[in-house]
Amino acid sequence: MVCNADEGEPGTFKDRVVFTEVPDLLFEGMTVAGYAVGASEGIVYLRAEYEYLLPGLLEVLDRRRRLGLLGRNICGKEGFDFDVRIQMGAGSYVCGEESSLLESAEGRRGAPRTRPPFPVTRGYRNQPTALNNAETLCCAARILAKGADWFAAQGTRDSTGTKLLSVSGDCARPGTYEVEFGLSVNKLLALVGADEAAAVQVGGPSGTCVAPKDFGRKICYEDLSTGGSVMVFGPGRDMLEVVRDFTEFFAEESCGWCAPCRVGTEVLLRMLDEIRDGRGTQDHLYRMMQLGDTVKACSRCGLGQTAVNPFLTTLRNMRDIYTERLSAHEYVPRLDLKKAVAFSEELAGHRSEVKEE
């Protein structure tokens, strides 16, 4: 039973709140999940940057052992053996992807595995492995305490329950909020005190950038899906610069395994720079769209498949941030073919032959 607590998505900090405020709830969720799937070993894969939380979490685990809530014959139930250890990550974003996380937990370089097989059949050390995030495990513990009907009565038909949101950026009250699924972006902005939001990034850089015209959209799986990160951008923000920073982040975090992600993110970054510096043309947008679709379709794991989202979603929802910076000229190739041919003829000492059809 593995808990994915490698929350590395920029703008996400809800797991940190879980670990500091309600660690018992998480360990309880892991324990009941372990009981449900017949696991005797639980691993929390903790984000490297959260190392400072480790001593406190180890104390909580020790206390739970003393109380008979971890270890052998838990709560006096014969054969209910389960314990938890904490494994530190090493600061790689891609280890938030479940198979990379397992590679790292086994002591190897954190790179995605080819799937199938999926972790439920062959996961940690080739054992069947249930792998969930911290919030899901907390939900499991609360559902057991309060009943499934209580949980299902909240949210929407296809997204039952509540969602933890880490809200940051240009708002008066940033922080971690628990809201019912189905809350509109408008209502969330009112809650966090963001009256003048010009854009909201829902789901972190790999999610969706929403413009004011779409603030009526709802946060739920059937509309705006999010792992928990919500970033608010006020009117003073340069959204092209934001997209550029997100793209640079993905280029930096790409593990380099496959070319579409490794090369595509770098090329996209360069083209964004060209637009920012006033050297972009309509042709840039066309080629960037094609490149984006290729990177999305051909990358091996979720990082590459979502790395182009900042560009693609802003191109769809706020195209002006690009078009207003394009130069008036149509695409001008950097290579002057005639000059290049003349130069090579000079070097070769003879003229090129042109065969007539």
Q: Which helix (H) or strand (E) holds 4?
A: strand 2-5
The answer to whether 170 touches 181, Cβ cutoff 8 Å, is no
For residue 82, give the DSSP letter: B
Provide the mask over 70-109, with x wherever binding to ligand SF4 is found by CB under 6 A and - wherever it is not: ------------------------x---------------
Task: Rule CB under 6 A: choose which of 110, 112, 203, 310 binds ligand SF4.
Answer: 112
Question: Which residue in 194, 144, 131, 195 sits closest to 165, CA to CA?
Answer: 194
CA distance 135 to 181: 14
CA distance 308 to 293: 8
Minimum CB–partner distance for residue 112 and ligand SF4 (Å): 5
Task: Rule CB under 6 A: choose which of 56, 91, 193, 256 binds ligand SF4.
Answer: 256
User: Which residues are CB-contacts of 205 (< 8 A; sequence separation ≥ 6)?
Assistant: 9, 10, 11, 246, 249, 250, 309, 310
Give the gyration radius of the chain's Cα atoms.
Answer: 25
* By the rule CB under 6 A, 303 interacts with ligand SF4: yes
Task: Rule CB under 6 A: choose which of 255, 269, 308, 321 binds ligand SF4.
Answer: 255
> Which contacts of 75-80 are long-range, i.e. CB under 8 A and separated by 24 or more positions?
80/35
Size of the site for ligand SF4 (CB under 6 A): 14
Question: Which residue in 293, 290, 322 sits closest to 309, CA to CA?
Answer: 293
The answer to whether 232 touches 200, Cβ cutoff 8 Å, is yes
10 vs 234, beta carbon nearer ligand SF4: 10
Site stretch for ligand SF4 (CB under 6 A), options 3-11, 65-73, 79-87, 258-266: 258-266
Torsion of CA 64, 68, 72, 75, to 10 degrees: -130
User: Which residues are CB-contacts of 263 (< 8 A; sequence separation ≥ 6)?
Assistant: none
* By the rule CB under 6 A, 268 interacts with ligand SF4: no
Site stretch for ligand SF4 (CB under 6 A), options 39-47, 155-163, 188-196, 297-305: 297-305
* By the rule CB under 6 A, 304 interacts with ligand SF4: yes
Site stretch for ligand SF4 (CB under 6 A), options 1-9, 29-37, 294-302, 349-357: 294-302
For residue 52, give the DSSP letter: G
Minimum CB–partner distance for residue 257 and ligand SF4 (Å): 4
* By the rule CB under 6 A, 300 interacts with ligand SF4: yes
Minimum CB–partner distance for residue 289 and ligand SF4 (Å): 19
Minimum CB–partner distance for residue 203 and ligand SF4 (Å): 18
262 vs 279, beta carbon nearer ligand SF4: 262
The answer to whether 137 touches 23, Cβ cutoff 8 Å, is no
* By the rule CB under 6 A, 131 interacts with ligand SF4: no
Task: Please give the residue whose beta carbon sits closest to ligand SF4 in the complex.
Answer: 304
Site stretch for ligand SF4 (CB under 6 A), options 56-64, 70-78, 121-129, 301-309: 301-309
* By the rule CB under 6 A, 261 interacts with ligand SF4: yes
Minimum CB–partner distance for residue 90 and ligand SF4 (Å): 15
* By the rule CB under 6 A, 257 interacts with ligand SF4: yes
Residue showing tokens 């940690």:
124
User: Amino acid identity, residue 326?
Assistant: L
The answer to whether 160 touches 181, Cβ cutoff 8 Å, is yes
Question: Which residue in 106, 104, 87, 122 sits closest to 3, CA to CA?
Answer: 87
Task: Rule CB under 6 A: choose which of 74, 291, 301, 308 binds ligand SF4.
Answer: 301
Minimum CB–partner distance for residue 144 and ligand SF4 (Å): 35
92 vs 176, beta carbon nearer ligand SF4: 92
Q: For binding to ligand SF4 (CB under 6 A), which residues are involved?
A: 94, 112, 254-258, 261-262, 299-301, 303-304
